[in-house]
Amino acid sequence: AGRTKSTTGIAEQVKKGLKADFKGITIRNDSDIGEMAAILRNPLTENLGVFFFKGQEVVGHMVYTSGLPGAVGVSEVMLKDIEAEIVKLGADGVAYAHNHPSGNPRASTEDRNITEKLSKFHGKKFRGHAITDDKQFNFLTTGMSHQVDSNYHDFAVPLEKFAQRGKGSPIDTPD
């Protein structure tokens, strides 16, 4: 597992519009997914973002939160809702992301177990699971065996400026 620097410009695109609507954005690599996740990051509560794709294009996204600094669980009801959204959007891929309010994007045992569960549930549609803070993210992927691999990335431009906008979500999410 190595560390790479993200060179995407998604944060700058969103900053200009002051609205986090990623629909229509082309995803080139896991750094793009990590940057979208960091934009939705709330420094006070743990949020779980779900991104839906057709090919490399984002066709939808949603955010779950417990409203607490602790973990956002992935329940069977949530997975059924996400699968229904995949069908509704005609998506052929899905990626997950969540933040650690502690600021440490290191994957816990629970994060690895959830990534494995999501990989098994979605099969070939599963694109990965990003864990973010404002300077870097950890991207978890799985292969055919569903064994979790972890790769750290530094953002080209630290995203802390988004997290400093106030107590709520750093950017308004679409309705």
pLDDT digits (tens, 9 = 90+) for 35-49: 888 887 777 888 889
Enumerate residues 6+ apart whose C-beta is below 8 A from 158.
134, 135
CA 13 vs CA 10, 17, 22, 68, 175: distances in Å: 5, 7, 9, 29, 19
Mean pLDDT of the 67-91 span: 88
Output phi, psi for 146, to 5 deg. 65, 15
Mean pLDDT of the 141-155 span: 68
Confidence at residue 81, expressed as pLDDT on a 0 to 100 scale? 95
* pLDDT tens digits along 94-113: 999 988 888 788 888 888 89
Cα 175–chain centre separation: 18
Helix, strand, coil percentages, rounded to 5, for the chain: 30, 30, 40
Check whether 7 has a pLDDT greater than 60: no
* pLDDT tens digits along 81-97: 999 999 999 999 999 99
**Taking the model in full, what pTM does it have?**
0.76
